[in-house]
Amino acid sequence: METGPIVRALLHHKTGTFLVALQIAVSLAIIVNAMFIINARIEKMNRPTGMDVANLIAISIRSTGDDSDGLADIRRDLDFLRYHPDVDQATVINHFPLSGSGSGTGLRTLPDENVTPTSTARYQLDEYGLETLGANLVRGRNFRPEEVQMRSPGDEPQTAEVVIVTQALGDELFPQQDPLGNVVYWGNMEPATIIGIVDHMQGSWVNWDGLDRNLFHARVSAQNFVRYLVRSRPGRRDALIPVLESELFKLNRNRVIREVSAHEDIVARSYELDRAMTNILIAVIILLVGLTALVITGLASYFVSQRTKQIGIRRALGATRMDILRYFLVENWLITTLGAIGGCLLTVGVGYWLETSFDLPRLDWRYLGASILVLWVVSQFAAYWPARRATNIAPAVATRSV
Amino acid sequence: MLEMDQVSKVYRTDRVQTRALDGLCVQVDAGEFVAVTGPSGSGKTTFLNIAGLLETFESGTYKLEGEDVGNLDDAARSRIRNQKIGFIFQSFNLIPDLDIFDNVDVPLRYRGMKAPERRRRIEDALLRVGLGSRSRHLPSQLSGGQQQRVAIARALAGDPLFLLADEPTGNLDTQMAGQVMELLQEINQAGTTIVMVTHDPSLAAMASRNITLLDGKLESGGTTQLGAHAQDLACSLIT
Amino acid sequence: MFAYYLTNAIRSMRRNPALTLLVVAAIAVGIAVSMTMLTVYYVMASNPIPRKSEQLFAVQLDSWNPLRPFDSDRPERPPHQMTWRDVNALLEAGYASRQAGMFEAELVITPQGENQLPFEVSARVTSSDFFPMFEPSFRYGGGWDRQADRVSAQVMVINRKINDRLFGGEDSVGRRVTVNGREFTITGVMDQWEPMPRFYDVIEGGLDEVSEVFVPLSLTPRMKFNSAGSDWGWKPEPIRSFEDWLNSEAVWLQFWAELPTPEDKAAYQAHIDAYVMEQKKLGRFERPLNNQLHDVMEWMAYHEIVQKDVRVLVGLGFLFLVVCLLSSVSLLLTKFEGRSGEMSLRRALGANKTQVISQNLIEVAVIGTCGGAIGITLTWASLNALGAAITRAPQALFEIDTTMIVTAIAVSVCTSLLAGIYPAVKTCAIAPAQQLKTQ
């Protein structure tokens, strides 16, 4: 390898070399940090939900008058839903998981106001709720039909006596013990027994760090808002949605069917900003890599045409085509590497700025490695075509005057 | 050592077809200092390009040390240029971005020599041309005569079969030209074969033998004294 | 002379079209990326009501749990919303010239006529002062008066979209609409009004749209309007009825006061502190006195309306611009260096250094103008694409206004000058003879 002479030759073009290296350095800093953020967002969006999201349909209904018998409506709707051939299971539910809308509460392990309550999202559903969600009840038992509280407006307030919790909530409440069979206390200090454990399920707010802490209790409330969650038979979801929308309206025309939509779409809406961020950053990376490649190709083509004579001389002095190709690729590699070294420092700087100003987690070094690899490959490809052209310069160029 | 037999070269453009060499027969023996002369357009440069394996030719044969080099592929021709021929160009053709040392180093690098061996050869060659102390200067910091001496050192460093010089004094003033010619004669006397292309009769006079080209054909002096008769005969039989 | 420079510049650009195009593209992409990010930031960080932003104050009373603060990470912060009881007490006391309590609800409108289905609208349930305080523009009519608040009149303001839907866009003031089964009279039709951010309610992030209809807050007990926003509670209270809910310690309303002078603000602070001290005697407000007033921009900062992501993107966007700038410099340097022979010749023929530099600068300016123009077009296109991707945010977030176009032009001029001056000047620094000799 003739690295020494290449380096010394580059030193005579300090400005140009420095500019390209600096460009690569800044690109690297952007790419590494962008890849890091993208990866964090993709991981966030791909966290296991613990539900059968792909087959779920979310239905939200609101009654217009106040004279309807809410519980009767719900019973009739559920009957219709459960007997529909394309429906696997259905439940009434107070909020849709992963929708950004939810109900939260605080639980204590002792009936004492001074104990800091553990906050959790709370789902009210019936005895078919867990089955509909596709939540995996790993230990304990499900709700019994007689445990479902049927409530109408004006009823005396009543807390649930049995609850099911996710493992994450159980661990938070009882770090040293088995949560199953233990007693927790509501805000009004009424007790509830944990009768079952769901291994994992995500709750309401995707940006909350307690997303995995969820509580279930059995209750059907007749309010002017009612939400159902329907689990369709696999592959039938999209065909089922319009059917449910029109049939539910036919069951009672005195109400507004606010929404019948794939639960997947609701989840996607919750992650919309994360997805937009990811897409923007991917676009930025593509533009950046593309621009860098084009600039390298442009500059290299120009230098090849500038150095036609020099290449001819080298050929005359015995350089093979391979030698010429190698010369340009090594030169390019050196500039890219110089840029990458500068880029490492810059990346750490930008990473530090992001970390301190935006509480982003510390940069992972693997991204730096991956990004440098990408830049190496791309810049070698970008330099390859002009370098190929350089190999076609005839050695006889050396004997041409001027 | 160098034998061209019936070598022809035609340049074609869209409209014009120029016969640059037309059945040229030339022979050079080891140790000779041959000057190739002729007026403008006589085919001197084409001869130089073919002799230096910088270009290919249509017909005829070209042998170096008995090896036919006419039909070699590009890589093999590069290797022969690198190992057997030392080039000296009219416009010096030093690489401006490289210092003197690295310029002399260029052909040695392509030969794949080890660093200590290269260093020894470069230092020897520069010493030989009287530039031993200036190895880290850039070409632009030297005079024309010095630059040409660097080019000669570059040609010598590889220990070639022969030197191929193209108007080596064409870009120099008289005084520098004289020094360069003296150096070439010195090198020749030390045993290196030199083939020099020039249009200047006074330079040609300094060579041990002159070959004159006209319209791509041999005018005179194509062979050594010993083989002259046989060669002439062969050529005239064909033409 | 300028025309001559221009002709030369265009001739020169055509000589290396690939390099020229690449410089134009680099500038265009750099501007598009950085300006797209900057526009979103600018809209998020902008003052939604510049004329009055220092006179409008969000009011907070610390009615929270005596045992622990509302926000355990920032214990100095009182709850960001208020209880129904306190909102009504403050409205009644009238300590400020104008005050408005409010919350978001979802109501059902039943249109007249046969096959018309009932539909849901987003509603702001608020007091009459909302309109003079926040100054929405009206197409027809206006808000309701304080008398309507006092008697809990069934009146409403609707926006243009609902007016178009119900009345085909005609002046509907005085017409009637069935809302949640009751007859309401329209007092006004709002014109396009999209404050960005939606400063009067930023609890959910401030990127939400303005409600479709507005109805009096005093109707809440009778009509049992439920909040569609968030509610927060700390006290275990048995809720049997809507009345129990209204009397609870749950916080779910926002409250604003208009306080034109610093004296007004000080007086108001004293009044609400006195009110809380009074309430303490009744056993409420057991936390230390911590009532806060924030004007509009303080309130935006309090809720971090400009999201971290947007700041990160603006930072990365400008680093991207730096990359494009560096690309342009090295490309232009290369381009001008390739022309140094011509430059030397011009100088040898009598052009002075300034003339040669001007020639180069004109070329750079032409390239910069093209790059800038394409960049602004691309900015507009990418903002549209973002608008299509982020449906949750109002489209005002992705609209480029005159300020941003001027900024974009300024940025592109600066970019191309930065990119061009160095190469233009550097290549002229060579003595005329030198270049000719080495040719």
Helix (H) or strand (E) holding B3: strand B2-12
**Chain-centre distance of CA A121, in angstroms?**
21
The residues that bridge with B10 in the sheet, in sequence order, are: B19
Residues of chain A with pLDDT under 70: 1-2, 65-68, 359-360, 401-402
Helix (H) or strand (E) holding B211: strand B209-214
* A 381-400 residues with CB < 8 A to B: 394-396, 398-399
Taking 50 as the threshold, does the pLDDT of residue C435 lie above it?
no
* B 51-70 residues with CB < 8 A to A: 52-55
Give the closest residue to C88 by CA, choosing from C4, C8, C150, C164: C150
| CA distances in angstroms from B153 to B106, B148, C316, listed in the order given | 11, 9, 54
* A 292-331 residues with CB < 8 A to B: 309-310, 313-323
Give the closest residue to C435 by CA, choosing from C362, C370, C338: C338
Q: Are C138 and C153 in contact (CB under 8 A)?
A: no
CA dist., res. A400 & res. A209, Å (int): 73
Mean of pLDDT over chain C: 87
Q: Which residue has the tokens 């009543």?
A: A158
> Which residue from A26, A34, A280 is facing C326, i.e. has the nearest CB?
A26
When scoring A313, A328, A392 by the number of chain B Cβ atoms within 10 A, the one with the most, hence best to mutate, is A313
A291 touches chain C (CB under 8 A): yes
Q: Are C6 and C362 in contact (CB under 8 A)?
A: yes
Cβ-based neighbours of C347, under 8 Å, separated by 6 or more? C353, C356, C432
Helix (H) or strand (E) holding B84: helix B74-84
B102 touches chain A (CB under 8 A): yes
CA dist., res. C46 & res. C48, Å (int): 6
Q: For the range C353-357, what are the long-range contacts, defined as Cβ-Cβ under 8 Å and sequence gap of 24 or more?
A: C353/C428, C356/C428, C357/C424, C357/C425, C357/C428
CA dist., res. B211 & res. B143, Å (int): 31
Q: Residue C91's pLDDT is what?
A: 95
Cβ-based neighbours of A83, under 8 Å, separated by 6 or more? none
Helix (H) or strand (E) holding C104: strand C98-110
Shortest distance between the Cα of A332 and any Cα of chain B, in A, equals 16
Cβ separation of A9 and B95 shorter than 8 Å? Answer: yes
Q: Residue C103's pLDDT is what?
A: 96
A37 touches chain C (CB under 8 A): yes
B106 touches chain A (CB under 8 A): yes
Question: Using one digit for the tens of pLDDT, what is the confidence trace for A62-73?
Answer: 887 655 678 888
Q: Residue B126's pLDDT is what?
A: 92
**Cα pseudo-dihedral A44, A47, A51, A56, rounded to 10:** 50
Give the closest residue to C267 by CA, choosing from C95, C97, C90: C95
Q: Residue C429's pLDDT is what?
A: 67
Cβ separation of A402 and B45 shorter than 8 Å? Answer: no
Q: pLDDT confidence of C15, banded at 50, 70, 90?
A: confident
CA dist., res. C273 & res. C290, Å (int): 8
Taking 80 as the threshold, does the pLDDT of residue C337 lie above it?
no
Chain A residues with CB under 8 Å of B81 CB are 315-318, 395
Q: Residue A252's pLDDT is what?
A: 84
Mean pLDDT in residue range C88-115:
91
Give the closest residue to B217 by CA, choosing from B29, B22, B66: B22
For β-strands C98-110 and C176-179, DSSP reports them as: antiparallel
Q: Are C248 and C237 in contact (CB under 8 A)?
A: yes
3-state secondary structure of B180: helix
Question: Using one digit for the tens of pLDDT, what is the confidence trace for A231-271?
Answer: 999 999 999 999 999 999 888 888 889 899 999 999 998 89
Which of A342-351, C279-288, C306-315: highest mean pLDDT?
A: C279-288
CA dist., res. B140 & res. B96, Å (int): 7
Q: Residue B237's pLDDT is what?
A: 47
A188 touches chain C (CB under 8 A): yes
Cβ-based neighbours of A242, under 8 Å, separated by 6 or more? A260
Q: pLDDT confidence of C137, banded at 50, 70, 90?
A: very high
Cβ separation of A317 and B97 shorter than 8 Å? Answer: no
CB pairs under 8 A between A and B: 93
Q: Residue C402's pLDDT is what?
A: 83
> Which residue from A29, A154, A276 is facing C386, i.e. has the nearest CB?
A276
Q: What are phi and psi of C249, to 5 degrees?
A: -90, 10
Q: Which residue has the tokens 């004997």?
A: A399
3-state secondary structure of B87: strand
Amino acid at A319: A
HEC secondary structure over chain A? CCHHHHHHHHHHHHHHHHHHHHHHHHHHHHHHHHHHHHHHHHHHHCCCCCCCHHHEEEEEEEECCCCCCHHHHHHHHHHHHHHCCCEEEEEEECCCCCCCCCCEEEEECCCCCCCCCEEEEEEEECCCHHHHHCCCEEEECCCCHHHCEEECCCCCCCCCCEEEEEHHHHHHHCCCCCCCCCEEECCCCCEEEEEEEECCCCCCCCCCCCCCCEEEEEEEECCCEEEEEEEECCCCHHHHHHHHHHHHHHHCCCEEEEEEEEHHHHHHHHCHHHHHHHHHHHHHHHHHHHHHHHHHHHHHHHHHHHCHHHHHHHHHCCCCHHHHHHHHHHHHHHHHHHHHHHHHHHHHHHHHHHHHHHCCCCCCHHHHHHHHHHHHHHHHHHHHHHHHHHHCCCHHHHHCCC
| Cα-only R_g, chain B | 18
> Which residue from A15, A256, A359 is facing C118, i.e. has the nearest CB?
A256
| CA distances in angstroms from A338 to A298, A376, C325, listed in the order given | 19, 11, 19
Q: What are phi and psi of C196, to 5 degrees?
A: -130, 115
Q: What is the DSSP letter of C127?
A: -
Per-residue pLDDT of chain B (239 residues), as tens digits, is 889 999 999 888 778 888 888 888 999 999 999 999 988 888 888 898 999 999 889 889 999 988 999 888 989 999 999 999 999 998 888 988 888 998 999 899 888 889 899 999 999 999 988 888 888 898 989 998 899 999 999 999 988 989 999 989 888 888 888 888 999 999 999 889 999 999 888 888 889 899 999 888 888 776 655 444 444 544 444 44
Q: Residue A88's pLDDT is what?
A: 95
Q: Are B100 and B133 in contact (CB under 8 A)?
A: no
Q: Residue A266's pLDDT is what?
A: 93
Mean pLDDT in residue range C56-84:
93
Shortest distance between the Cα of A386 and any Cα of chain C, in A, equals 13
When scoring A223, A284, A346 by the number of chain C Cβ atoms within 10 A, the one with the most, hence best to mutate, is A284
Chain A residues with CB under 8 Å of C181 CB are 64-66
HSE at residue B142, side-chain half, CA atoms within 13 A, is 26
Amino acid at A335: I
- Inter-helix orientation angle A237-251/A70-83, to 10°: 140
What is the pTM for the complete model shown? 0.84
Token readout for A218 is 């059995």
Beta-carbon neighbour count of residue B227 at 10 Å? 14
A3 touches chain B (CB under 8 A): no
Token readout for B79 is 């290797």
* C 70-99 residues with CB < 8 A to A: none
Chain B residues with CB under 8 Å of A323 CB are 78, 110
| CA distances in angstroms from B234 to B20, B58, B231, listed in the order given | 21, 20, 5
Q: Residue B239's pLDDT is what?
A: 40
3-state secondary structure of C271: helix
Give the closest residue to B201 by CA, choosing from B192, B193, B210: B210
3-state secondary structure of C317: helix
Q: Are B24 and B196 in contact (CB under 8 A)?
A: no
Give the closest residue to C418 by CA, choosing from C11, C22, C23, C36: C23
Token readout for A31 is 């790419």
> Which residue from A156, A189, A256 is facing C120, i.e. has the nearest CB?
A256
C288 touches chain A (CB under 8 A): no
